[in-house]
Amino acid sequence: MEEQFTREDALRREGYRHACHIMLYGDSSAKLFGKIPIKHIVLMQMRFDGLLGFPGGLVNPSKETLEAGLSRELHEEVGVAVPVGVDNHVSSCLSPSCPQLITHFYIKKMTEAELREIERAAVAAATDHGLEVLGMVRVPLYFLKNGGGLPYFLSHSFISNSRAQLLSALQRCRLLSQGELEKAVRQAEQMRR
């Protein structure tokens, strides 16, 4: 686990750059194949580098608050300046992949209609569509035969510690049980061998 800070301690550190990313999610009553409840919508993105990650980006705290910077990045990457507040902040830590970078993570619950509007705007309005962002993706939270669903999703490659951010957010928001999370991680591990 990387070194963790409070939001305030992280901002007091000198000589660090800051990046903010967010998990936008919500409940859904939709059913895959008309029978498997998808239960929740959780949004991530396929990045320009081929890695999965959350929407968001670099923020300059001397010019904008972390949350205003994150809203700006959301406007660029998903086409909607989703309002983000300090109450959406969940963690701040040193980036395991980038020296002198602190990554801040946020979570925001939205309605299914709002999430659908973001998916539409990400293609129709976002200036980064097809450039820094190749597309929004939903995280499959169910289990199908032979590792289909969440285990296969987790076996892909993720930017920085975004895979750990996803797992801890799914736990924190109780979108899956502890047992289901452990099963998904175990099955994903077997696929990568």
Candidates 4, 6, 97, 157; binder of ligand GTP (CB under 6 A) is 97
* Choice between 53 and 149, CB closer to ligand GTP: 53
Q: What angle do CA 177, 119, 20 make, to 5 degrees?
A: 70
Q: Name the residue whose CB lies closest to Mn ion.
A: 57
Secondary structure class of 147 (helix, strand, coil)? helix
Q: Residue 166: helix, strand or coil by DSSP?
A: helix
119 binds ligand GTP (CB under 6 A): no
Name the token pair of 20. 């903010």
* Dist CA 6 CA 108 (whole Å): 18
In the complex with Mn ion, the residue whose CB is nearer, 58 or 191, is 58
23 binds ligand GTP (CB under 6 A): no
Which span sits near ligand GTP by CB under 6 A: 81-89, 145-153, 160-168, 180-188?
160-168
Comparison of 112 and 132: residue with beta carbon closer to ligand GTP: 132
CA distance 126 to 123: 6
